[in-house]
Amino acid sequence: MRQDGVDAALEKSRRGGHLWIFAEKPLLARDCRVYIYNLAVRLKVPVKGAGLADGIEVFPKQDRLSADEFGNGLRAPLGIHQANKKRYWFYGADYRLEQQIAYLSRLKKITEPEMAAFVEGLEMPPELAPPKIEAAPVRLPANGAYREFRILDYVTVRRKMARNYWTQCPSCALQGRDKSGDNLAISVADPRKYRCWAGCGREMIRSAVGCPIRQRAAR
């Protein structure tokens, strides 16, 4: 980022730190995400959620929001953390509010033309792009003896982000993984479409919830 002329402020947190990058005015979320994700790939920095349980988290977590969706709730810089009622300081100045604000005010803010130049010719790295979820084929007997499997009947949605619901993968949970509870993506528009970021197949997920995929009898 220094090579690009980008100032970043490192803030303490409960579990490591937050690296804040400020803009002169609101920028397109997708451009910001493309810039940071490509930077992470170049530096070989692991990104949480891209099939990994640990790594950096990038906010915002979506490229765009529709009119009826909400983004991420974040604690603003120098805000009070509601879980422990603590304020976390930035490393670049004395731990007093006036000095901290003065430090942040001095930081160079990214402009819209600068961000456009950073992401020119770049796309989201394929390994970090949101999962493309394909619908599972619906196989019902001719007499309709049982109803279509619905994954949402077996999980508790943790959050809705972009076009997907996110929750704990039942198969990962059985294996003692997915402690963050967000490996499983379920399409909002068509909940028949779901995918585990950690690689669990549909057979594993269905088996984990006690509803294995029925195999057709051989003739």
Nearest to 179 by CA among 12, 45, 52, 14: 52
Q: How many CB atoms lie within 10 A of CB 80?
A: 12
Is the pLDDT assigned to residue 7 strictly greater than 60?
yes
Tell me the average pLDDT of the chain: 84
The pLDDT-based confidence of 53 (bands split at 50, 70, 90) is low
Phi-psi region of 176 (alpha: psi -120 to 50; beta: other; left: phi over 0): left
Is the pLDDT assigned to residue 137 strictly greater than 60?
no
pLDDT tens-digit readout, 159-212? 887 688 889 999 988 888 877 788 899 998 888 889 888 888 888 899 888 888
Residue 207 CB partners (closer than 8 Å, separation 6+): 171, 213
pLDDT given for residue 134 in this prediction: 52
pLDDT tens-digit readout, 74-119? 889 999 888 788 999 999 999 999 999 999 999 999 999 999 999 9
Side chain identity at 148, as an amino acid letter?
E
CB 34 within 8 A of CB 122: yes
pLDDT given for residue 205 in this prediction: 92
Q: Where are the domains of the chain?
A: 9-128, 130-219
pLDDT given for residue 68 in this prediction: 65
